[in-house]
Structure 1
Amino acid sequence: MTRYLSHASRRRSVVIAGAGIAAAVALALSGCTGGGTPSGGTADPDAKVTLDFWNGFTGPDGPALQKVVDDFNASQDRVTVKTNIMPWDTLYQKVLTAAAGKDGPDIVAMSASRLPQFIDEGLYQPLDDYYENPDNQADALTQAAVDASMYDGKNYGVPVNIATMLMYYNKDLFSAAGLDPEKPPTTWDEFAAMVPKLTVDDNNDGKPEQYAIALADHETVPMYQPLLWNAGGGVVSDDGKTSELGSDGSLEALNFWVDLVRDQKASPIGLAGADADKLFTTGKAAMEIVGPWMTSGFTDAGLNFGLAPTPAGPAEQTTLADVVSMSVPASADETTKQAAYEFFAYWNSEEGQKTWAEGSGFPPTRSDVADQITGNPFPSVFGAADIVDNSKVYLAGVAAGGTITTTIFEPALQKALNGEGSVDDLFTEASKQVQAELDK
């Protein structure tokens, strides 16, 4: 997932909102190399097709993705996939200007939670016929990964991956703090009790040399938002119709974590996802909540780390499940779309998923190959039933999800962390703004 959105370690994204920007995106996608003619008609099964595949896997999982692409290209001589890998925020911005050079993507990978804002403007085409073809073995896919790209009764994506978040912790730093390296915190209260021991400010200048946790507050997969679930709150209701930011559970969670970060300096303020990864990698943070894409990076860095579920809140213990889906622009013709389907089917084949899981640490998108992953211990950890069953996709099917995250939630959070207002006041107002977006 490379953490979403700057993918130097994480998938990060920039929100695309407003009619003017949406129009720009429409223009960009109309310039796709496989496009020019809307989907429909008859595909040419003999045509040689080159597919430009835009994605943001710039982190430690990038080589695994490239290996699957290379294997697909070598498996046949009709369809060639060329990867165009860039940070996720760059990808979203570049799509806006792709029309100028008429070199836009034929396949776009993005967090499934971002798809609705593009779908709502008619920029991607439904891919339901992919799932209807038994040759694609779509029935073997994890249902949560498939459902993540559903919007208004249709499916607009095919999964690249499903990634649950776990808490990485540095066993050496735990030992140095006098904590048992085999006993990471299991509850919020246990975590809070460890903060003073794991946050080290030797010269008392207010700038710790070591932090208890690297907790990113922007340009990252949602880190703070899932914490709200564990106090019985959330950003929006499960049906996507009602804001929950002003609920008692949400405010309880936000007050708890903002206090730990702002007042007890559990984490630096203002971290992007890549910053958080670097802090943990360099041994300057004892914990980080992140997905399987960092397993190889942290291993290569020589860290003695453990993995554990995120600490349980007062109401439940739910973690984020993020899904990246591959989509086809609305402008792509039938030949291009069917060529993309060939790649999608290979990606999610037994062979493709074994290569992907072994190389990336992600659990496979299909459960029937899980027991065949023997060269990498991490897919089974992140794909464990108790982790997957207690995970949830953030803002699935909410067209305003990007706007809610980057123009409402994150600014309110940063103001609270910087002491520019109380949590209750800031997020009560933010909740009204979220509701206004949902009501549009």
Structure 2
Amino acid sequence: MRSQHAPTTSWRRRRRSILMGLATTSAVALALSGCAGQGSGGGGDTNADGKIVLDFWNGFTGPDGPALEQVIADFNASQDEIEVKANIMPWDTLYQKVLTSVAAKDGPDIIAMSAARMPQFADEGLFLPLDDYYDDAAHDTAALAPAAVEASIYDGKNYGVPVNFTPMMMYYNKDLFSAAGLDPEAPPTTWDEFAAMVPQLTVDENGDGKPEQYAIALGDHETVPIFPSLLWGTGGSIVSDDGATSTLGDPESIEALDFWVSLVRDQKASPIGLNGADADKLFQTGKAAIEIVGPWMTTGFDEAGLNFGLAKPFAGPGGENVLADVVAMGLPSNASDDVKNAAYEFFAYWNSAEGQITWSSGSGFPPTRADVADQVTESPYPAIFGAADVVDSAQVLLPGIAAGGPILETVFTPALQRALNGEGTVEEIFTAASDQVQAELDK
């Protein structure tokens, strides 16, 4: 973790211009409220020192949490008008609370969430469009990775500012590869190579049908959507590129689902019923040889003493497609001007060179801006996850689709679990699920 550092002259100059508007609105708020000003959302309250306080909800409960809190601490120390307070909770809890808390006007001032989920909330009128943030040259948004910025666009408007942008990578346990007689420096590069390794990496010592070790930890619910992204490997998908038509029942999608359901259900490549935390634990405890996940787990795997390697996820017969995850910060639609101005200052600091060097060094995420990549030297992982050949093949799942969250949660995931549990054929289950996806799109 990087130690706290002072803001550079360029940051001070940007901050001064942003604060001109903020100081005026904050002064008015203080005069009207007797130094206990009430903004919107979580309040935008002022503290005893007269600082506006922003309640920042996010789900960084993993090993990347301390890096986020360090950037927040650095921002708070960089100026004396704003204090950001992190309210960290599990992502599923956050999504459940956002709808009711924002509607009741007692929720957060800043909300971080998967950019793929933002269209759902924007469609409900719960988020402010932030295009004016990007229009202001003082925020230096031209330096940001375009894919990170575009991930939160819905219906022609941008509702988020990126916290991170990262492709998923394949972690593999070199010791388990060696014990299976496999080359620990040669992880599978294709689906077929992985399938050939499954009998060697899935170990059922007593033959009771419950392996003590699995080839892969592949979550099927409450996790980063690795399983849905596997459809890309055969040219399949859940929804057409224009977001209007369900493609879940297309032959290419069924082909991918058949392949992976068979590996998991019939060949026991992975346990059935894993959520994201279960999958992480299985790999971290040496009971799975492979996991596809993001850089937030590198610290935990290092601390567990695992001898692991990192590689681009294996390619399907249709080519290389890597799932990218983007978390973006948004503002509730009832945010007042003083809250909005203060939040914009924090957004600019987060994505400044200073903020991104601290974040990447402490979290292992690649920076949101390429111009500081060579300054992140305290961790090897940002360069691995941000490698050009990885980023170039990365894509976000269901971007810009308001029904994306419900489709994954109420249609795809239940259908997948039915298929994995043998409650019908893949074709039967997902053809019916495709009709449900279309119904969601048509609402």
Instruction: Write the distance in 1 (CA, Å) between the matches of 2:80 and 2:217.
Output: 46
1:87 aligned partner: 90
Alignment of 1:119-134 (within 5 A): 119-134=122-137
Shift of 1:48: 2.9
Give the one of 138, 145, 148 matched to 2:148: 145
2:214 aligned partner: 211
1:73 aligned partner: 76
Runs (5+) with no aligned partner, structure 2: 1-38
Is the 8 Å Cα contact of residues 230 and 315 (structure 1) preserved in structure 2?
yes
Give the one of 103, 110, 115 matched to 1:112: 115
1:366 aligned partner: 369
Give every structure 1 segment of 4 or more consecutive aligned residues whose post-TM-superposition deviation is greater than 4 Å: 99-102
1:406 aligned partner: 409
1:379 aligned partner: 382
Instruction: Write the distance in 2 (CA, Å) between the matches of 1:227 and 1:102.
Output: 39
Give the one of 265, 268, 273 matched to 1:265: 268
- Greater Cα radius of gyration, structure 1 or 2: 2
Instruction: Write the distance in 2 (CA, Å) between the matches of 1:356 and 1:393.
Output: 21
Shift of 1:135: 1.0
Instruction: Write the distance in 2 (CA, Å) between the matches of 1:423 and 1:303.
Output: 36
Give the one of 228, 242, 245 matched to 1:242: 245
2:63 aligned partner: 60
Q: Which amino acid aligns with 1:241?
A: A
- Bigger mean CA deviation after superposition, 102-111 or 249-258: 102-111
Instruction: Write the distance in 2 (CA, Å) between the matches of 1:66 and 1:278.
Output: 24
| CA deviation profile, 1:131-154 (whole Å, cap 9, x unmatched) | 111111100000000000111111
Give the one of 387, 391, 395 matched to 1:388: 391
Aligned length: 402
1:166 aligned partner: 169
Aligned CA RMSD, in angstroms, stands at 1.6
| CA deviation profile, 1:174-199 (whole Å, cap 9, x unmatched) | 00000000000011110000000000
Runs (5+) with no aligned partner, structure 1: 1-29, 37-45
Q: Which amino acid aligns with 1:242?
A: T
Is the 8 Å Cα contact of residues 110 and 329 (structure 2) preserved in structure 1?
yes
**1:197 counterpart SS class:** helix
Instruction: Write the distance in 2 (CA, Å) between the matches of 1:94 and 1:183.
Output: 44
Alignment of 1:314-333 (within 5 A): 314-333=317-336
Shift of 1:242: 1.4
1:33 aligned partner: 42
Q: Which amino acid aligns with 2:124?
A: E
Instruction: Write the distance in 2 (CA, Å) between the matches of 1:158 and 1:61.
Output: 19
1:251 aligned partner: 254
| CA deviation profile, 1:143-167 (whole Å, cap 9, x unmatched) | 0000001111111100000011011
Is the 8 Å Cα contact of residues 44 and 54 (structure 2) preserved in structure 1?
no
Shift of 1:244: 1.1
Q: Structure 1 residues 61, 272: closer, same or farther in 2, change over 3 A?
A: same
Shift of 1:102: 5.8
1:226 aligned partner: 229
Instruction: Write the distance in 1 (CA, Å) between the matches of 2:235 and 2:128.
Output: 36
Give the one of 178, 189, 193 matched to 1:175: 178
Q: Does 1:292 align with 2:295?
A: yes
- Bigger mean CA deviation after superposition, 119-128 or 90-99: 90-99
| CA deviation profile, 1:265-312 (whole Å, cap 9, x unmatched) | 000000000000000000000000001111111111110000111111
1:11 aligned partner: none
| CA deviation profile, 1:327-360 (whole Å, cap 9, x unmatched) | 0000000110000000000000000000000000
Q: Which amino acid aligns with 1:192?
A: A
Shift of 1:35: 6.9
Q: Does 1:275 align with 2:284?
A: no
Q: Does 1:337 align with 2:340?
A: yes
Give the one of 404, 419, 422 matched to 1:419: 422
Instruction: Write the distance in 1 (CA, Å) between the matches of 2:261 and 2:142.
Output: 43
Instruction: Write the distance in 1 (CA, Å) between the matches of 2:42 and 2:284.
Output: 39
1:12 aligned partner: none
Shift of 1:101: 8.4
Identity rate, percent = 71
Q: Structure 1 residues 101, 132: closer, same or farther in 2, change over 3 A?
A: closer
Q: Structure 1 residues 172, 424: closer, same or farther in 2, change over 3 A?
A: same
Q: Which amino acid aligns with 1:54?
A: W
Q: Which amino acid aligns with 2:212?
A: E
| CA deviation profile, 1:50-105 (whole Å, cap 9, x unmatched) | 00000000000000000000000000110000000000011112224436986410
**2:400 counterpart SS class:** coil
**1:224 counterpart SS class:** helix
> Normalization by structure 2: what TM-score?
0.89
Q: Which amino acid aligns with 1:411?
A: P
Give the one of 344, 349, 370 matched to 1:346: 349
Q: Which amino acid aligns with 1:319?
A: V
Shift of 1:31: 6.3
2:360 aligned partner: 357
- Bigger mean CA deviation after superposition, 268-277 or 93-102: 93-102
Is the 8 Å Cα contact of residues 34 and 333 (structure 1) preserved in structure 2?
no
Shift of 1:34: 3.6
Is the 8 Å Cα contact of residues 102 and 126 (structure 2) preserved in structure 1?
no
Q: Which amino acid aligns with 1:91?
A: L
Is the 8 Å Cα contact of residues 31 and 99 (structure 1) preserved in structure 2?
no
Instruction: Write the distance in 2 (CA, Å) between the matches of 1:92 and 1:156.
Output: 16
Q: Does 1:187 align with 2:190?
A: yes
1:154 aligned partner: 157
1:200 aligned partner: 203
Instruction: Write the distance in 2 (CA, Å) between the matches of 1:307 and 1:275.
Output: 20
